[in-house]
Amino acid sequence: MTLRYDLVSVGHALVDIRIVVEKFPGPDEEAKVLSQVWGGGGSAVNIAIDGARLGLKTAIIAKIGFDSFGRIVVDELLREGVDITGLRVSSKGQTGFTIVVIDKNGDITMYGFKGVAEELEPSDVIDDIVASTRYVHIASLRVDTSLKVIEIAKKNSVKVSWDPGRVLSKKGLKELEAIIKQVDIVLLNNMEAAALTGASPDNYREAAKIIKSLGPELVIVKLGARGVYALGNGVDEEVPAIKVSKVVDTTGAGDAFAAGLISGFVRGYSIRKAILYANAVAALKIMRLGSHEAPKHDEVVDYIWEAT
């Protein structure tokens, strides 16, 4: 199979509506909007766009509705150079959306409507797209469709990274074991690691060990402002986050990290160097408003030089 992509992202395609306010309003109160931005969102969109900005050839497999929000998603993906051959359009349901409200302290309130994003079925997955990439990243996606993507990837020696997200991780190891046993890289935060394994959020090293024992080559537990803990072949350490001058918007930081990590591996970086690169991508993203405001590759390199 000829490689056409570096990264294919599979998961949710949504519209993000981001609003910055001085403070959250109470009942019957109105909050003045200081700034706002609309655009494509959801992990699949974020990672496909972030990867493209970092210089990768990317494609997306996701589902949207035949509506104005769906048009926003399509327009943005095309503008960023993402291949949308795998984007499925439902004539019956609506494109999902997330309303994100951020106050001056950086605290966030979110309202989510998944729409048809969760209706991406195994039959919607185009084998040829998954088979012709170096990496496929699956994020917050239903189990049956995830397993279909993994099956195609494994048949074609495609590396698979997986991020269960908040909701899926609550299903626990028993329900998700079939996925974990087959993927190469697992990325999740410490709360998700706790929900998945039953370990306490503070005991993320034990959680990572439990997940790693099922088969993945690399497990990365995201620790927010502290950085990440990595457990894999030849690596067992915490890699600190890169400090930022101002936190503007933390949503999408995990997706930026994932895109940065895969970009590092595509470039031939070692695990530790790829994590350092991914940390820089996430740091630059959280200083900008928007779920996929990832930097270009040259910006990341310059930032690492300045910060280290």
Q: Is residue 271 part of a domain?
A: yes
> Does residue 151 have a pLDDT over 70?
yes
Residue 184 covered by a domain: no
Domain assignment present for residue 177? The answer is no
State the pLDDT at residue 268: 97
The pLDDT tens digits of the residues spanning 42-96 come to 999 999 999 999 999 999 999 999 999 999 999 999 999 999 999 999 999 999 9
What residue numbers bound the domain in which 259 lies?
A: 5-24+33-163+241-307
Domain total in the chain:
1
Q: For the domain that residue 130 is a member of, what is the CATH number?
A: 3.40.1190.20
Using CA atoms, how far apart are residues 76 and 80, in angstroms rounded to an integer? 6
The answer to whether residue 16 is domain-embedded is yes
Is 207 a member of any domain?
Answer: no
**How much is the pLDDT for 290?**
74
Say if residue 1's pLDDT is above 70. Answer: no
Amino acid at 65: G
Q: Is residue 231 part of a domain?
A: no
pLDDT for the residue numbered 196: 96
Specify the pairing of strand 108-115 against strand 58-65: unpaired
